[in-house]
Structure 1
Amino acid sequence: MRNLIVPFILLLTLVFSCTSNDMEEGLEKKKTSYDVYVAGRENNKACFWKNTIKTELNNGDAIGTLDIIVENNDIYITGISLPNTTSNGIEYFWKNNVRTDVKQYLNIPNNAQYSIERFTVNNGNIYFAGYVENPTTTSTLDKFELCFWKNGVKNILYKSQYKSRVEGLIIDGTDVYVSVQKVDNNQINDKGYFKNTIFTSIPADYINNFAKNNNGIHLLIYKNQAYHSLNLNSNTQTIIGDFVLPIMFGKLVSDKSTSDLYTTHSNAGEYHKNSTLITSSFSQLPEIQNLFVLDNNIYMIKYKFDSGYNAKVLINGVESQDISSTISSGSVYFPSTFNSIFVVEN
């Protein structure tokens, strides 16, 4: 009998052990964790934080960061010199902490007028968009070229004697979308977007950026004192919110896992989820610097500045990290700030 009991106990132990392991593996599979990246500067040095751990950027003294993008474990950050006394837009970008001069990367002549306004990354390809002075102009009518660059190669969208402005840039498969305020040679300001090299004009007071979700590509426009999201796939517009004042500088953000769209606008601590107005937490920080949404989680930088600067990173309304600074004697900007946020599932 004892010889029968021992194997039976061993079998039960094995069954319970396997069941326990299976349950633990199941629980582990259901757990989702995220890496939160924040670009900014601290003590006048460009840097980024991954899950609150800081990394200083090489050759980042007196440079302000603009955007951070993380793709396939590669970290891209754009920046400008401080104080920013030029209108050249983006001046530097880092890939994995190696700094590149944008003007050299795009082969822009030394004396050319230019402004690089937008940046993105798609499948390891690096895109910029903006305008540049035509190096081979034959008349005043083609003095400036509105362009996008893919891995440093220029693609001309439009030529004019006037400077046009890029507002948004997004890649969808092999298609490049660039939203612009285009100024033609009769000085008519035409708002719309290029899909590759084909321009579509849109009646609007202002035009902003793109966002992509599982319903397609959306473009944020402002008209009749209200924001609208324009679905470029279905050519339908959805009103987002009414505003008494012309709040023209907004940003559209998508949650790639859902059909939800989020809209922030300048000088406000509120945002819209689709067409519903949401009042964010930490009312003592009145403005939203940057917003990122993933799997219905809200990642936000909120800030205020008066005699000093104070900002916090909030995850679903809960403080994750903060930073503060004051302007030192002889300076015109805050030496420590948060600027951009990006989140990836790990």
Structure 2
Amino acid sequence: MKTLLSFLFLLVFIFSCRENNTEELEKTVASYDVYIAGRENNQSCYWKNGQKTNLPPSIYIPRKIIAENNHVYIAGRIPTVPMNYQTFWKDGIRFDLDQYLNVPVTNVPQIFDFYVKNGDIYLLGQATNLNPATPSERFEFCYWKNGVKTILFTDEFTQNDSGSITVHDSKVYVSAHKKINGVSNFGYFINTTFYPLNTNYTYRNGIASNSSNLYLYGTGTTLFYRNLLTNIQTPILSPSTGAIDKIILDNNDVYLQSKNKYYKNSSEILITDPQYSFIQEMKVLDQNIYMIRYNDNGEQKVFINNVEIQSFMPPYSFGNGLHSIDVVQN
């Protein structure tokens, strides 16, 4: 890993020759802390403003990082189970899910999403009932708040999509697919009540909130995002629409992350960098855009408003690399 000095020194140096930018960039760098979760030389770790902290043990791959109230939460997985989280760290201390959820180590639930709100830890996933009364109760789609389980629904078949979870105005919101009269419906839960939207959006979906907004997105025959507070739904009709990986809110702006582009309030914005054109993950805060991007060779770089601040060179294998980014105002 090549950490390019400190954030402040680097960015002031780069922009020293660009008039009208130095003052704005100094303010941006001084006001925000950038956290990146990843794995280097087969060692799990995270970086805060370029300073690395190792995470024991090294077998897990950190996949999602959340910084809140001076605490750092990181969810991780092992390489052989690419879609589910199996552990998490809080301030460098790792928690085994079997112990945290009080389940046998042979029956640890599949965890699809990891979320933190005011110090409360939420896990969204699927538990297996080894002794169901009926076949339809074998799999439990549920969430855990600080280790306490709430079952949203049961099914005889495992869930193929992950869904996501957020908390707004003290209510738990979950994007999900749920069968109604045998037909799979895409929609969302408010606490334990399901609100179906339609039967068409059966691909990726997600949900996100901030202090004043709450949005859901879905991908099916078309791509849309929906304000769940006003129920206003916005379709994206771009002919080049691709898979969406994440929804991000910044004040009243809605961003949808894709592979080599993103959408801001339904407007498509392509990544024009000829070398690092693919988005690993992005974060937007106060109109500043933070990105981990990569190229075909597995090289990665971190950018603030398209200015490089950190880099990672191959081998991008066995989970080595930069995987998740979070930014908070300090």
Is the counterpart of residue 58 in structure 1 residue 56 in structure 2?
yes
After the TM superposition, which residues 1-346 of structure 1 pair with which residues of structure 2 at under 5 Å, given as runs? 33-59=31-57, 61-82=58-79, 85-86=80-81, 89-112=84-107, 114-164=109-159, 165-183=161-179, 186=182, 188-203=183-198, 204-213=201-210, 216-225=213-222, 227-244=223-240, 247-255=242-250, 258-265=251-258, 268-305=259-296, 308-326=297-315, 333-334=317-318, 336-346=320-330
- The alpha-carbon deviation at position 269 of structure 1 amounts to 1.7
- Cα offsets for 1:29-58 (capped at 9, x unmatched): 999611100011100111000111111112
Aligned residue pairs, count: 302
- Asked whether the 8 Å contact 1:160–1:184 carries over to 2, the reply is no
Aligned with 1:105: secondary structure? Answer: helix
Consecutive unaligned residues of structure 1, counting only runs of 5 or more, are 1-27, 328-332
Distance in 1 separating the partners of 2:208 and 2:65: 16
* TM-score scaled by length of structure 1: 0.81
- Asked whether the 8 Å contact 2:226–2:232 carries over to 1, the reply is yes
The amino acid of 2:54's aligned partner reads: E
- The alpha-carbon deviation at position 221 of structure 1 amounts to 1.3
Distance in 2 separating the partners of 1:78 and 1:174: 23
- Asked whether the 8 Å contact 2:98–2:108 carries over to 1, the reply is no
Distance in 2 separating the partners of 1:113 and 1:215: 35
- The alpha-carbon deviation at position 205 of structure 1 amounts to 3.8
For structure 1, which segment, 131-140 or 35-44, has the greater mean C-alpha deviation from structure 2 after superposition? 131-140
- The alpha-carbon deviation at position 300 of structure 1 amounts to 0.5
Root-mean-square deviation (Å): 2.4
The amino acid of 1:98's aligned partner reads: I
Which structure has the larger Rg?
A: 1
- Asked whether the 8 Å contact 1:109–1:135 carries over to 2, the reply is no
- Asked whether the 8 Å contact 1:90–1:117 carries over to 2, the reply is yes
Consecutive unaligned residues of structure 2, counting only runs of 5 or more, are 1-25
The amino acid of 2:269's aligned partner reads: I
Distance in 1 separating the partners of 2:308 and 2:88: 29
- Asked whether the 8 Å contact 1:299–1:316 carries over to 2, the reply is yes
Aligned with 1:103: secondary structure? Answer: helix
- The alpha-carbon deviation at position 179 of structure 1 amounts to 0.7
- The alpha-carbon deviation at position 88 of structure 1 amounts to 7.3
The amino acid of 2:157's aligned partner reads: Y
- Cα offsets for 1:182-238 (capped at 9, x unmatched): 35784x33211111000011222435111224652100112433x211111111101
- The alpha-carbon deviation at position 113 of structure 1 amounts to 6.7
Distance in 2 separating the partners of 1:29 and 1:282: 25
- The alpha-carbon deviation at position 276 of structure 1 amounts to 1.6
Identity %: 38
